[in-house]
Chains A and B, each alone.
Chain A
Amino acid sequence: GESVGLHLPTLSVQEGDNSIINCAYSNSASDYFIWYKQESGKGPQFIIDIRSNMDKRQGQRVTVLLNKTVKHLSLQIAATQPGDSAVYFCAENRESGYSTLTFGKGTMLLVSP
């Protein structure tokens, strides 16, 4: 399959578990962070975002946590479903007038029924 040879960090969970995907970002001046989900053969899809003046934001079944002290971002997915299986990317926005996203390496989430 597409994952062979990729050597992406992989998180394997059972359906119904909660998943936590972590991301370390590089630029302390970044002020906007986004999580994207990329399913096999598709483009990245927006999940949730957070600005640097917040440390937590919740969506439907997803929560993003931001720790600016250690430049760490996490995505929590509650009651993970097989349809959540995908590669998840965090992206940071550099301090500039225009939106310049820098993407992290990606984590593959595999959900078993």
Chain B
Amino acid sequence: DTAVSQTPKYLVTQMGNDKSIKCEQNLGHDTMYWYKQDSKKFLKIMFSYNNKELIINETVPNRFSPKSPDKAHLNLHINSLELGDSAVYFCASSRPGLAGETQYFGPGTRLLVL
């Protein structure tokens, strides 16, 4: 009955590799997000998609490419991983994504780049 789910939960990989993280929500929401949480627990928005269309891209390197095959899924592909990409990545979703809509977060994917 998980509302927002992410896979994998843990991801350990070498620098230079390419990896993907998947996110699915079963809440019927139109909008999905990716956030990055660094080692100091600071949470920052990366991307937002509304009904499969990119609406927010917060100055993220183009090595990060989100893909939304349908409005229930938002995957994050990362090329040429760097040490600084090590973080926890959270997916979230909300209803239309307008100001004032609560965002619901997934459990996170802990990425460690060696």
A binding-site residues for B, Cβ under 8 Å: 6-8, 31-32, 34, 36, 38, 41-46, 49, 51, 87, 89, 93-103, 105-106
Contacts and interface: CB of A to CB of B under 8 A. Distances in A.
A98 B41 contact: no
Range, interface on chain B:
20 to 34
Contacts of A89: 43
Interface string B79-94: 0000000000010101
Nearest to A107: B41
Contacts of B108: 41-43
Contact of A43 (B39, B45, B97, B107): B107
Given A31-B99, A44-B90, A100 B104 contact: no
A45 B105 contact: yes
Contacts of A43: 4, 90, 92, 105-108
Interface string B98-114: 11111111111000000
Given A95-B99, A97-B98, A98-B55, A106 B41 contact: yes
B42 A105 contact: yes
Contacts of A41: 107-108
